[in-house]
Amino acid sequence: MTQRTQSRVGLRGLRAAAALVPLALGTTNVVAGGVADEVHVETFAFPLAPGAITLTLPRFDDQGGDRVLQEVTLDLDGQLTARITAENDSDLPAPEFALNFAGFMTADLRGLSTFVAVTVDLTSPGVGPTDGVAGSGPDFYDFGSMDAAASASDATAISLGDFIGVGPIDIDVFATGGFALSGTTDATITVDGFSASGQLTLTYRSLPAPPIACCLPTGACTMVSGATCLGSGGVGQGTGSTCGGVTCPAPVGACCLPGGGCTIMTGGECDASGGIYEGHDVPCGGCPVAAIGACCFPDGTCGDLDEGDCLAGGGTHQGDGTVCASSRCFGACCFFDGTCELATLARCNQFAGIFQGHGVLCVAGTCPTLTGACCLGDGGCFTGSVTDCVVAGGLYAGSGSDCVTACLPVERACCLPDGSCVEATMADCLAGGGIPQDPGAACGVVACPAPAACCLVDGQCVLMMEGACVDAGGLAMGGLATCERSPCPPPPGACCHGDGTCTDGMTADACVASGGLYAGDAVACVDACGCLGDLDGSGVVDFVDLLSVLSFWGCGDCAADIDGDGNVGFTDMLWVLGMWGACP
């Protein structure tokens, strides 16, 4: 049998929106027990055959966790429609002239798939043989309109994360069908308005999320959903948490401290520290700024701090507006012999000196020479400084003492160098290398100390009695200290820097660590550094000096070895470049 099908649709494989009409989009119905069904409906229509269309429906909004998706259902109600006429092209009549139709429609969405199939059988009273005239006559029959409808549904409760989020989700609808005539061997089928239409229903079934403990910005706790907690600025404590099982942290904010600083703490902590609490979650930045100045610490280091923080750290504030870059955290230290040394406060105290103040220099008149009676071993006496007395081998009786009363020839306890005690005159005691005690003192009541390590001002260590050590301006290490077990700290000196500047009162280690060149112990900047980069003595550090370094590169014993490391190299070149220009 030969059949010819004519279709006035003329569209195949169409994938485009066609007459989409939203119907009751996004309605939510509460079923029972808090269960809610959110229903989204879309109608559609598109020509065949075959044909397709992509619909977009919204994803499930879990409202930040307030709703928990339980199940997704996709319902398809579809209809295939056409108007069909047929004509017998055979020379024989067709008394059982009939039309058969079979078609199907599918809808697919992220693992959900629905399928509906339809079949239609249309009969006629029969037609005659072909009359040769198309579209009319006894061989022609109008079957009229065909409407085939069916429904299908699919649901899932797994992989629900694919349906949750923001934005649309695509649903693909496809339909097709075919026609066949029976009762004749040759016929022509004409199809008009062959199309698919219907309705898609997407249902999201959900439950409200269980409440969790929420720590609010005020420090209070409340049981709400995670989304509500987040919206109120709180911090959710996790699934299954309760306020009875969590401790919400107290709120913190900026605390303006009395000294002018600011730190983040609770209101209670701020009140306890005497500060002013700026409020919950308020950052530092709005507190009054305390006046800043250089702060010199006893170890010679410096920090730019306000006066309160400086004093709290044991430092000495140099005044508002001063800066460490231009402040000297050392000063003149006067010793009993009238000598002066630039030192930090800590070092001056260590060697029993009198600190004259930060930034004070050792100049004439800074340290007056103190004098007193010096009792000699032969019974003689003179008035002089402690240094003069030690050089003469005498016993310094103390600043302000006089020879009339200080050196009487009476026996007294005498502490010998080995720590033993004998009673002898001052002259005999001194002659034996001992230390005379106060007039009238007896050995039975005097505890003679054993000699111990004494650190002198120049950094040397000697074994001597504590009194003699102090009289010499040294620091007695005390007890059983020896020079081997208690080495003396190195004395400071001048440190020459590569930019031509110089710093007084630095130890050798500190100078080297800063990249400087140590000029020696007890050496002052005023006569230490000079113009180290001026290798040719021209008074100007220039290209000639740079050539000198390059010419002697690698030399181990050359004048161009500015830093004294035994090798003319990169550091020496940096010294020349750092001091470039006229010498100061």
Helical segments of 134-274, H only: 226-231, 267-272
The pLDDT tens digits for 435-477 are 777 767 888 888 887 777 787 766 778 777 676 677 777 777 7
pLDDT grade for 274, boundaries at 50, 70 and 90: confident
The size of the chain, in residues, is 584
pLDDT at 517: 79
Among 2-11, 57-66, 241-250, name the one with the lowest average pLDDT.
2-11
Asked whether residue 217 carries a pLDDT value surpassing 60, the answer given is yes
Q: How far apart are CA 415 and CA 417, in angstroms?
A: 7
pLDDT at 5: 44
pLDDT at 337: 64
DSSP 540-552: EE-HHHHHHHHHT
Handedness of CA 183, 188, 190, 195 (dihedral sign): positive
pLDDT grade for 6, boundaries at 50, 70 and 90: very low
Q: How far apart are CA 458 and CA 336, in angstroms?
A: 14
Average pLDDT in the 118-146 region?
A: 93
Q: What residue has token string 């209670």?
A: 268
- Bridge-partner residues for 30, per DSSP? 36
Instruction: Give the Cα-Cα-Cα angle 369, 374, 379 (nearest 5 degrees).
Output: 165
Q: What is the side-by-side order of every strand in the sheet holding 98-109?
A: 14-15, 51-58, 168-182, 98-109, 112-123
Q: What is the mean pLDDT of the chain?
A: 81
Asked whether residue 25 carries a pLDDT value surpassing 60, the answer given is no
Helices (H) and strands (E) in the chain, counts: 11, 38
Q: What residue has token string 């220009």?
A: 581
Q: How far apart are CA 492 and CA 503, in angstroms?
A: 10
| Spatial CB neighbours of 244, under 8 Å, sequence gap ≥ 6 | none
pLDDT at 82: 95
Q: What's the DSSP call for residue 374?
A: E
Q: Which has the closest alpha carbon to 127: 101, 102, 99?
A: 99
pLDDT at 228: 85
pLDDT at 395: 74
pLDDT at 480: 60
Q: How far apart are CA 87 and CA 6, in angstroms?
A: 11
pLDDT at 70: 93
DSSP 462-505: EEE-HHHHHHTT-EE--TT--TTTSPPPPPPEEEE-TTS-EEEE
Give the H or E element holding residue 136: none
- Assign 387 to helix, strand or coil: helix
pLDDT above 70 covers what percent of the chain? 88
pLDDT at 16: 28
DSSP 319-346: -TT--GGG--S-EEEE-TTS-EEEE-HH
pLDDT grade for 327, boundaries at 50, 70 and 90: low
Handedness of CA 376, 380, 383, 388 (dihedral sign): negative
Beta strands 2-7 and 186-208 are: parallel
The pLDDT tens digits for 161-190 are 999 999 999 999 999 999 999 999 999 999
Domain ranges (residues) in the chain:
2-208, 212-245, 252-290, 372-476, 493-582
Kindly list the distances between the CA atom of residue 503 and the CA atoms of 24, 255, 270, 500, 512, in Å, as whole numbers in the listed order: 86, 39, 42, 10, 12
- Assign 348 to helix, strand or coil: helix
Neighbours of 163 (CB within 10 A): 21
pLDDT at 143: 95
Backbone angles phi, psi at 127, to 5 degrees: -130, 160
pLDDT at 19: 34
Among 118-132, 343-357, 540-554, name the one with the lowest average pLDDT.
343-357
Q: How far apart are CA 422 and CA 205, in angstroms?
A: 108
Do 143 and 215 meet the contact criterion of CB atoms below 8 Å apart?
A: no
- Which carries the bigger pLDDT value, residue 466 or residue 133? 133
Do 363 and 333 meet the contact criterion of CB atoms below 8 Å apart?
A: no
Q: What's the DSSP call for residue 160?
A: G
The pLDDT tens digits for 405-440 are 777 777 888 888 777 899 887 777 777 777 777 767
Backbone angles phi, psi at 326, to 5 degrees: -120, 15
Handedness of CA 306, 307, 313, 316 (dihedral sign): positive
The pLDDT tens digits for 7-22 are 333 222 222 223 333 3
Kindly list the distances between the CA atom of residue 104 and the CA atoms of 94, 98, 415, 502, in Å, as whole numbers in the listed order: 29, 21, 124, 97
The pLDDT tens digits for 304-323 are 888 888 888 888 888 887 87
Neighbours of 77 (CB within 10 A): 19
Q: Is 578 left (phi over 0), alpha (psi -120 to 50) or beta?
A: alpha
Q: Which has the closest alpha carbon to 173: 118, 104, 72, 71?
A: 104
pLDDT at 481: 64
pLDDT at 17: 29
Asked whether residue 232 carries a pLDDT value surpassing 70, the answer given is yes
Helical segments of 392-465, H only: 403-406, 426-431
